[in-house]
Amino acid sequence: MSGSLSLLQQRHSVPSRQLGEPAPDEATLHALLEAAIRVPDHGKLVPFRLIRLQEEAKLRFGERLTAIAIRNSPDMSEAKLEKERLRYTFAPLVMVVVACLHADSKVPEIEQKLCAGNVAYNILLGAYALGYGAQWLTGWAAYDREVATILGLAEDEHVIGFIHLGTPQLEVPDRDRPVLADLLGTWTP
């Protein structure tokens, strides 16, 4: 059985700064995303969508976010501004996973967000299975409504995460993981 679980046992994030070319080609990316959207979806709402950032668009997106950062924190250091500007440029591809919430549904909002979160996690798993690296990041931009407007999100849409994809440029050691015995309990009446 452990062979069947090896993907889950070995998957780890690769920092976006350590992701380089190549990204998945168009056919591989399409297959990866087709697999990633096969998630539990109570009510069959499809409460998610994807936005691709690549090539020059990644830098332009970072520049727009830098302008927001300057307005929000005019005293931000040049180093931090440069970090904002370049944040999305390291990995060759960034997928934005968006939750599309249906307020009129009987399905609770949290379940809809979890559905979209499963899409993000499936992208991470799928990328690892295909030999690529990935990192799921959020940061302030994921929660900022002005950034949502830049991305063309509707009022009922929210960024779940920015999934940075590419080929690992360095071997990344796994981090310490929690101990199951510390987390698992048994309920008894």
Q: What is the dihedral of CA 65, 69, 74, 77, to 10 degrees?
A: -90
Q: Where are the alpha helices (DSSP H) in the chain?
A: 2-10, 26-36, 56-72, 78-86, 109-129, 145-150, 180-183
Q: The whole model's pTM is what?
A: 0.95
Bridge partners (DSSP) of residue 159 are 98
CA distance 147 to 159: 9
High-pLDDT (> 70) share of the chain, %: 99
pLDDT tens track for 29-41: 999 999 999 999 9
- What confidence score (pLDDT) does residue 173 get? 87
State the Rg of the chain over Cα: 18
Q: Using an 8 Å Cβ cutoff, are 123 and 134 in contact? A: yes
Say which DSSP state 75 is in. T
Closest-CA residue to 71 (of 7, 124, 147, 5): 147
Domains and CATH numbers, the chain: 10-172 (3.40.109.10)
- What confidence score (pLDDT) does residue 4 get? 81
- What confidence score (pLDDT) does residue 1 get? 59
pLDDT tens track for 118-160: 999 999 999 999 999 999 999 999 999 999 999 999 999 999 9
- pLDDT surpassing 70 at residue 2: no
With both helix axes pointing from N to C terminus, report the angle between 109-129 and 26-36 in degrees, rounded to the nearest 10.
Answer: 140
- pLDDT surpassing 80 at residue 3: no
Q: Using an 8 Å Cβ cutoff, are 93 and 165 in contact? A: yes
